[in-house]
Amino acid sequence: MSTTNVTPNHSTSALDSLSGSLIVSCQARPGEPLAQPGIMRLMAQSSIEGGAGGVMAGGPADIREIREVTELPLIGLWKDGRRGTVYITPTINHVISVIEAGADAVAIDATFRPRSDGGKVEELIDAVHSSGSLAIANISTKDEGIAAIDKGADAISTCLAGYTDYSSMKTGPDFSLIESLASSTSTPVIAEGRISTPADFVRALSCGAHAVVVGRAITNPESITRSFIKTSQAVNFD
């Protein structure tokens, strides 16, 4: 495959092609060992070799590098700010930067929480559409999902379920939210958040998810190692 000048596919066909697929989120938080130039591009290539149907990437630099090596649908976002606040692609300037880096779709925080710049979700969605891209609304509740659809979102993601003060945190994926949304709308529902096993992936699809995002369980060795250690420590080998 060519590694230069790949043109993004800014159309609904990008979402159509993701139906039933695994989207691998290739992101590293600042300060983590893998937060280095070129690493997420390699992670994306490895995931694609394994059969991923799409890739998610954070920040213009990583989006740009991954765009150079794949024509698969690329969902971009930019985390900027403090966790627990609206920090996933929070402003129109962030949206524009993500699109210019080569993303086919932009993930934005579409929760009911106040935004630091006073902006509105519909303004970000309009900015995404004005650039010919797709808007994926990250939500934490069913009401937020329906509201985002009414505001023009092309898809909704359960990414933030359990991460707002008013949504319930579960030990695993929020399958009930996935199923409730999928049965209430024809807009694609992307299952995301604490999906950590192949069984979770299959169950999310059976709940009606259009596609499923898996991140740390695939792309974060530290998190994966910690889960092995935690499990072993909980077992009495005597």
pLDDT greater than 50 at residue 7: no
CA distances from 173 to 85, 91, 140, 161 (A): 21, 28, 12, 8
Number of Cβ within 10 Å of residue 46's Cβ equals: 14
Q: What is the pLDDT of residues 16-75, one digit of tens each?
A: 999 999 999 999 999 999 999 999 999 999 999 999 999 999 999 999 999 999 999 999
Tell me if 56 sits within 8 A of 75, measured CB to CB: yes
Q: What is the pLDDT of residues 181-219, one digit of tens each?
A: 999 999 999 999 999 999 999 999 999 999 999 999 999
State pTM to two decimals.
Answer: 0.93
Average per-residue pLDDT for the chain: 94
Distance of CA 15 to the CA centre of its chain: 13
Tell me if 175 sits within 8 A of 209, measured CB to CB: no
Tell me if 211 sits within 8 A of 189, measured CB to CB: no
